[in-house]
Structure 1
Amino acid sequence: MVGDVWDFPKAFSNSGSLFTHCASNGRLTIWDTATGVLKQEFTKSAHLNSTCSCLVWVQISKHNGHKRKKLKSSQNVAENLDLIALGTTVGNVTLYDVTTNSVVAELEEHSGKVNHLTWSSSLNSLFSCSDDKYIIEWDLNLHKIKRCNKWKIGKENVSCILALSNGKHLLSASYSIKLWDLEKKQIIKTFVGHGTEVTSLVEVPNKDGYFVSSGKGERVLSVWSLNSSEKKSNQIASLILQNSAQSVQMLHYEGERPTILFAITEEGMLQIFKHKFNGNLCKPLKPIASLSLASGNNESKHSHPIAIQAVFPYPNDKILIVYGNLPFLTFEVVALNEIEQENIVLVRQYTKKVPVNEFNSKTKVPIGSNDVDYQIPGVSLKRGNKKAMDVPLEERLENLALVNSQSNEGPKKDNMAHLLLQGLQSKDKNILQSILLRTEQSVIDVTVKHLPVQALVPLIRELTVFMQGKTFTTKSAVEWLRSIVRTHSGVLLSNPELTEMFGPLLASIEAKVAVLAPLLKLKGRLALITEQMGFNLDEKSEDTVEPIYTYEEESSDEGDVEKMSEGSLSESEGSWDEYSDLGDGVDEK
């Protein structure tokens, strides 16, 4: 049972005294957080057929009906019971009693996988959502559906739900988040902005009405206002993470103290935000501190990072963190006033279990020669010459040749389709990036043309992730999407899930296009500034500076010019004299 806790459901109890985890084999384990001791283990009889998909802690009030003699009346005495509600992949909801270590009830109504569970203490109800596109409100005292409280949510699967503390509304999320009126079963408002499936919803417990959401693979936490008047609302603030969020917790104080938000990233780092939720934020909010763990064994000179698995905030400015691998989990309380720096690394004595290999194993394998001839009984072997045949010298020289004349041709472009299929099936990021980041149009067209129809949906999902990246990945994703639409337009139009498939893409494109107009304005202003600066530089360069020294070189050409000019002047004077003599003669006549 040694493994990582990330991929399976886990949760703290309402008081933080117990921590539970459900593994892939269906085994439910419960730890005492004060002592770090494994308290209970439970495995259902049909655990192999129904794997746990989600869980939530539930506290219900049970009435035992004892009579009090002093009051001389029959009064029900309320007793709180701690239950764990387990959603399964076959559509059942199992209620497990921690006190008796037994299953209380099996709630069977969903026809698909139960995606998420949420508990409403004000309504004393459990809500569940499933792949069958229904939301059900359960009465846990009667172990059945509450009256007329099963309704269909639409065409898309819901990945996460949250019952609000007012007992009147519920949030359901897929790629968009919808606010429901529980009495009328109608959608009041829709919150749009996520490009992937929403994985967690957390309510800010104040009167102003805010909640925080995180999407799958997104490095931003979105803050929304429930009191906005618009039917389609956008986020009012965003919190930046170092990596995508795995879980989000909230610590709220009454009065003017800011709310503290804890987010555990995919790498196992705890990032802490502190903010007073009151209106829109223009700039994204950064964490005030980041807490991570590292191993510091005396035996090893190298330290290794230790992933934080979960966090539980206490109201006395302390948090409880869980780290380690199953079945050895460690629980530690950390005071918030000790976290004063922006990046804090706590060194702990932690040893990972070393896998058994040939060096530390007690079982030794005898070393034998490679040329041993094993004889199988019952099989007669023919006698023959066992000597290896000598390879001719010409073939050896051909094998040693550095340049092969027959292998000058490059790899065929058709092979990219097979490699892309392998990457989509194995979800290998290196293979997918090496193919999808190529921008040669001919390679893209040939690869898309040879892809089978079944690979289009997972390919579009991968390209959706690329569209949420930076400019380089977005550009390559656009080229691939253009080729897919041009080549397989008929197949895409016949797909009934076309809207769900291209919904995240359209949301990402709209988010990027919304920034285009401000960017063009900024580009125009920068162009005006740079042109003005260049014009000023040209004016400065035109100002002439008189030289300090001037050297004039004598030339024979200049002398010839002077002589020519003198000769022309003398000739002109002679001609004037002739004209003057002629004029005098005319007058005398």
Structure 2
Amino acid sequence: MAAAGGVCELLPPPCAFSPPLRGLLALSGADGTIQVWDTQGGGLKREYVPSAHLSATCTCLAWAPGRGHKESHQKKKRKAEAADQEEQYDLLTIGTATGTILLYSIVKGELQSKLVGGHDSRVNCIRWHQGNGCLYSCSEDKHIVEWNTQTCKVKCKWKGDNSSVSSLCIGPDGKMLLSAGRTIKLWDLETKEVFRQFTGHSAAVTSLMFMPTPSSSESLPSHDPMGLYFLSGALHDRLISVWQVRSEKKEKSAVLSFSLTESPVCMDLAPSDSKEKPLKLAVVCRDGQLHLFEHVLNGNHKKPLQPTCTVQIATSGSDKDSTPKPVPILAANFCPDKQSVLLYYGSTMQPFIERVELKTDEPHICLIRDLQKTVTLRKDMPVTKVKTPVVNSDSKVLVPGIAGHSSALPAAAALSIKLDGKRKPRDKEASIEDRLDAMDIDSSAAQSKGGLPQTDSLAVLLVQGLESNDANFLNKVFLSRNESMIRKTVARIPVYAVIPLVNEITKRLHGNPTNALLMVKWLKAVFVSHASYLSTLPDLVPQLGTLYQLVESRVKTLHKLSRLNGKLYLLVTQVAAYEKAQRTHVSQEAKLVYEEESSEEESSEELMADHESDDNWEEEEETGSGAEARSSEDESEEDADMSVDKVNGDSDGDPGNESEEE
């Protein structure tokens, strides 16, 4: 049984158990290295490093089925045929992130063939056909490909789903194919038509497995496989669903389900021999626990079934801290006796493979293992001998120094340095002062431009801050606002720091939107300087998905913000104009005042009335009437009199004097 390969980066690196007769386990490291371990002897059998292991990392693994020994009338078989059978039995299939499929021979220890041209994106799952030897693969490009392994060419290719196809499984009769994307589809391999669809998972399905029961009969047609079930597990679903493949009652829901603590990573099945005996299911969850189920398929169950036994592995703890620490279980596989399980736990750097006999009577089993004292799997690495070249005494020995520095050591110092690291007792070792003098470093050249490299540059601080995740270093670097300096700093960083820099910029854009103006300058410099490197990454889309969503959301709101900015600008300008009008000072003093003569005469009469006595009141009345008559007679000459008065500077005559003269 093959362990479920990782169709998502959240899952651990892919691994695959070989058929039980061979007893091998294939692991894929984080760096793309493929290791094949012996599960019985506990040693490393093969290690393969693909040429494109960094750019095209391994995404899934699968073992080729062994060819059965067919009966032959010949008395003797040729050795070539036996070797061919053994080679086919030990063939490991490797799916990569670029869509290429590799066929690696364990016997020869070399790459046998390469399947190219079927997929242009990440390969999610690989399955071998037991009968015709064909290979089926699915990918992120929404297609399923049927390969001819003899010619290494595409035999058939069709669209499997509207989204990526995450998992495959071939039926026991070899005439059906299950594919999982957004929905689970049952295909007829002859016509490539969908026979039935199953819906019940909201996330990507990572595990598919047929579970034939003793009631299934080979006499039934392929399109009506009564009594045939299959299992399915999704990425973020804590259930293993059991579906029944039948044509009479097309039920929309699963027959039953098994409850888990986390999403499944790997599962293996031990079918029962009769109807009365239960089948056994082993499921490894993402939290590192192993759940064992025993159940007899006798009908539908609404409630999820709980595991009969849960297995965990923990360390015994150190001397200072005696608290056991959990060790994650990465994969499990039933042994041929169906009573014991092969457990793979630890990590890909230091794997542990152990055979454990389980007692399902106990609901919880915790295995305490001291990983420090346990004899780990040893790697038989070949030792390469380095031969020391024969150096003539007249040759010059160069020492490490500035790039391009070609000064040679003195003869005494050169003789004291041996390439093999051995020195005779009589030889005198050169002092540090002599070695520094021999290097002949010019301090003026070091201080000038192009001298010794400076360790306090922004590029060095940026790389150190990204590697150590030091906020102080990163804040000092990101404070720079000079576009020229930003462009030079980004151009000098190594390529392995480009993706961490993009992630840091994305995080800062999320955390503090006010820094967007400054962070966009850094992001622009990254795309300008390292566009060629970014275009070579096969998994660039998921790595830059968060940044793309952030930019897209802000671009969508740009039109609305621009309209709001225009309205706010109009309001601000109107308020400013109104305030300016209120602040304008208007002078209240009149520049010209015009007074009529009648008003001056009335004021003079009032003044004269105050000074005269009460005895002359009749006379004043008469003079007042005479003055009024005079004023009416001289009304036509009013303008002339006013002009004369103004020239002479005299005021009008008193009314009292006029009355006396009369």
TM-score greater than 0.5 by the shorter chain: yes
2:181 to 174, 182, 186: 174
Q: CA–CA distance in 2 between the matches of 1:289 and 1:23?
A: 30
Q: CA–CA distance in 1 between the matches of 2:148 and 2:66?
A: 10
Q: CA–CA distance in 1 between the matches of 2:246 and 2:310?
A: 32
- CA-to-aligned-CA distance 1:232-273 (integer Å, 9 cap, x gap): 732111111111211111111211211111111111100111
**Compared CA separation, residues 75 and 84, structure 1 to 2 (3 A):** closer
Q: Is the 8 A contact 1:190 1:232 kept in 2?
A: no
Q: CA–CA distance in 2 between the matches of 1:69 and 1:326?
A: 46
Partner in structure 2 of residue 308 of structure 1: 329
Partner in structure 1 of residue 145 of structure 2: 136
Show the 5 A alignment for 1:239-318.
Answer: 239-255=258-274, 256-297=276-317, 299-300=319-320, 301-316=322-337, 317-318=339-340
- CA-to-aligned-CA distance 1:448-480 (integer Å, 9 cap, x gap): xxxxxx99x979xx9xxxxxxxxxxxxxxxxxx
Partner in structure 2 of residue 233 of structure 1: 252
**Residue 37 of structure 1 pairs with residue 43 of structure 2:** yes
1:322 to 336, 344, 356: 344
After TM superposition, give the deviation of residue 74 of structure 1 in Å. Answer: 14
**Compared CA separation, residues 5 and 302, structure 1 to 2 (3 A):** farther
One-letter identity of the residue aligned with 1:351: Q
**Compared CA separation, residues 294 and 280, structure 1 to 2 (3 A):** same
**Compared CA separation, residues 63 and 323, structure 1 to 2 (3 A):** closer
Q: CA–CA distance in 1 between the matches of 2:175 and 2:97?
A: 29
After TM superposition, give the deviation of residue 109 of structure 1 in Å. Answer: 2.0
Q: CA–CA distance in 2 between the matches of 1:192 and 1:5?
A: 23
Q: Is the 8 A contact 1:297 1:350 kept in 2?
A: no
- CA-to-aligned-CA distance 1:121-169 (integer Å, 9 cap, x gap): 13322110122222112232343333xx322224221011111111111
**Compared CA separation, residues 351 and 106, structure 1 to 2 (3 A):** same
Q: CA–CA distance in 2 between the matches of 1:295 and 1:93?
A: 38
2:114 to 106, 109, 113: 106
- CA-to-aligned-CA distance 1:169-213 (integer Å, 9 cap, x gap): 101101210000111110011100101110111111322111111
Partner in structure 1 of residue 625 of structure 2: none
2:356 to 319, 323, 334: 334
Partner in structure 2 of residue 345 of structure 1: 366
One-letter identity of the residue aligned with 2:18: S
Q: CA–CA distance in 2 between the matches of 1:144 and 1:247?
A: 30
Unmatched runs of 5 consecutive residues or more in structure 1: 354-375, 381-421, 435-453, 463-483, 492-589
**Same amino acid, percent of matched pairs:** 32
Q: Is the 8 A contact 1:289 1:340 kept in 2?
A: yes
Partner in structure 1 of residue 61 of structure 2: 55
Q: Is the 8 A contact 1:122 1:165 kept in 2?
A: no
**TM-score, length-scaled by structure 2:** 0.51
2:126 to 98, 117, 121: 117
Q: Is the 8 A contact 2:96 2:122 kept in 1?
A: yes
**Compared CA separation, residues 309 and 196, structure 1 to 2 (3 A):** same
**Residue 218 of structure 1 pairs with residue 226 of structure 2:** no
- CA-to-aligned-CA distance 1:323-360 (integer Å, 9 cap, x gap): 112332221111123x421111111112399xxxxxxx
Unmatched runs of 5 consecutive residues or more in structure 2: 1-8, 217-226, 375-442, 449-499, 512-540, 561-662
**Compared CA separation, residues 5 and 56, structure 1 to 2 (3 A):** farther
1:184 to 185, 191, 208: 191
Q: CA–CA distance in 1 between the matches of 2:105 and 2:79?
A: 27
After TM superposition, give the deviation of residue 47 of structure 1 in Å. Answer: 2.0
Q: Is the 8 A contact 1:67 1:75 kept in 2?
A: no
Q: CA–CA distance in 2 between the matches of 1:194 and 1:5?
A: 18
Show the 5 A alignment for 1:432-471.
Answer: none
- CA-to-aligned-CA distance 1:428-465 (integer Å, 9 cap, x gap): 99x99x9xxxxxxxxxxxxxxxxxxx99x979xx9xxx
One-letter identity of the residue aligned with 1:177: I
**Compared CA separation, residues 349 and 233, structure 1 to 2 (3 A):** same
Q: CA–CA distance in 1 between the matches of 2:15 and 2:328?
A: 15
Partner in structure 2 of residue 193 of structure 1: 200
Cα RMSD, aligned residues only: 4.3
One-letter identity of the residue aligned with 1:323: Y
Q: Is the 8 A contact 1:189 1:232 kept in 2?
A: no
Q: CA–CA distance in 2 between the matches of 1:240 and 1:278?
A: 18
Q: Is the 8 A contact 2:161 2:181 kept in 1?
A: no
Higher strand share: 1
After TM superposition, give the deviation of residue 425 of structure 1 in Å. Answer: 6.5
**Compared CA separation, residues 62 and 279, structure 1 to 2 (3 A):** closer
1:164 to 148, 166, 171: 171
**Compared CA separation, residues 160 and 425, structure 1 to 2 (3 A):** farther
**TM-score, length-scaled by structure 1:** 0.57
One-letter identity of the residue aligned with 2:93: A
Q: What SS does the corresponding residue of 2:168 show, helix, strand or coil?
A: strand
After TM superposition, give the deviation of residue 113 of structure 1 in Å. Answer: 1.8
One-letter identity of the residue aligned with 1:181: D
Q: What SS does the corresponding residue of 1:79 show, helix, strand or coil?
A: helix
- CA-to-aligned-CA distance 1:505-553 (integer Å, 9 cap, x gap): xxxxxxxxxxxxxxxxxxxxxxxxxxxxxxxxxxxxxxxxxxxxxxxxx
2:136 to 99, 105, 127: 127
**Compared CA separation, residues 244 and 132, structure 1 to 2 (3 A):** closer
Q: What SS does the corresponding residue of 1:155 show, helix, strand or coil?
A: coil
Q: CA–CA distance in 1 between the matches of 2:290 and 2:40?
A: 21
**Compared CA separation, residues 122 and 68, structure 1 to 2 (3 A):** closer
Q: What SS does the corresponding residue of 2:64 show, helix, strand or coil?
A: strand
One-letter identity of the residue aligned with 2:354: E
Q: Is the 8 A contact 1:264 1:271 kept in 2?
A: yes
Q: CA–CA distance in 2 between the matches of 1:230 and 1:188?
A: 14
